[in-house]
Amino acid sequence: MASSSSSGLTFKLHPLVIVNISDHYTRIKSQSQPSPTSSAAKDAVSSRPPPRVFGCVIGIQRGRTVEIFNSFELLYDVSTHSLDRGFLEKKQELYKKVFPHFYVLGWYSSGSDAQESDMQIHKALMDINESPVYLLLNPSINHAQKDLPVTIYESELHVIDGIPQLIFVRSSYTIETVEAERISVDHVAHLKPSDGGSAATQLAAHLTGIHSAIKMLNSRIRVLHHYLLAVQKGDLPCENSLLRQVSSLLRRLPTIESDKFQDDFLMEYNDTLLITYLAMFTNCSSTMNELVDKFSTAYDRHSRRGGRAAFI
């Protein structure tokens, strides 16, 4: 790995990408580490290496300026080092419908440093982008470090020991934000349970309600599962009317995992995000218009006073 890039590209990173990667890592980590009961199990869980997450970064490249606006997740098998290309093409097509000017600029991952296996993913995306960008987020917390734990890599062809090899090189970047993103990031930053404010209370109540609903659904599904096992073993009598009701409930579950549901859900989700962004832009435009009106009124008064004084 070389120290710095020599391509001369300027990278601008939007905070939405950092929020997406952090959320992706937090969800995968919480799902892969269940809460153990014994101290030995806790030690075993704590000794496991943190999971890695993978995804694509999208944005716009204008000349020598690369601006990374958004990101989405990827399905990558770490054991076989295989990338689900069908899932990637489907996500890329969905984002193209909402953001037609955004292109796949590269990919992201989590970890303390770039690994040799990362080059395989990097090369696999070269058929989409000839020179993809690799964004690495270090999830470990270092309170002494004030800079963002985000590193952007480019790939360059270097001759090492007489053999041309593709290696990662570091690139500098700047954080680029718009008014809507600043408002969103500020709103998310204030949603802390320790604040005790109304926003935090509403968030805690909302999350508690979702947790209770999922817990109740899980318990009722377990009741049905135990009942079906008891009927299969012959411990309980077989009632056809009850089995028909159970079958009717089970037929509804696979529709949630169908491809059509996923496409419709992602489309509606993207439309909702777009409406939210438009509402933020409208609010910002209204505030700016009010500021311009106040400035124009104050400037007109100042001009009239100056004209009277000059006349006198």
pLDDT attached to residue 160 = 77
For the chain, what are the domain ranges? 10-35+43-176, 198-295
Q: How many residues does the chain have?
A: 312
pLDDT attached to residue 312 = 45
Sheet strand arrangement including 103-110: 163-171, 150-160, 133-137, 103-110, 54-62, 65-73, 10-13, 173-175
Task: Return averaged pLDDT per consecutive 10 residues of the chain, 312 residues in all.
Answer: 70 89 87 61 59 90 89 84 85 86 90 83 87 89 75 84 83 83 68 54 72 85 88 87 84 66 82 85 86 80 55 44
Start-to-end Cα distance in the chain:
75
pLDDT attached to residue 271 = 84
Pick 10-35+43-176's CATH classification: 3.40.50.11240, 2.40.50.180, 3.40.140.10, 2.60.120.20: 3.40.140.10
Provide the strand spans (E) within the chain: 10-13, 54-62, 65-73, 76-77, 82-83, 103-110, 133-137, 150-160, 163-171, 173-175
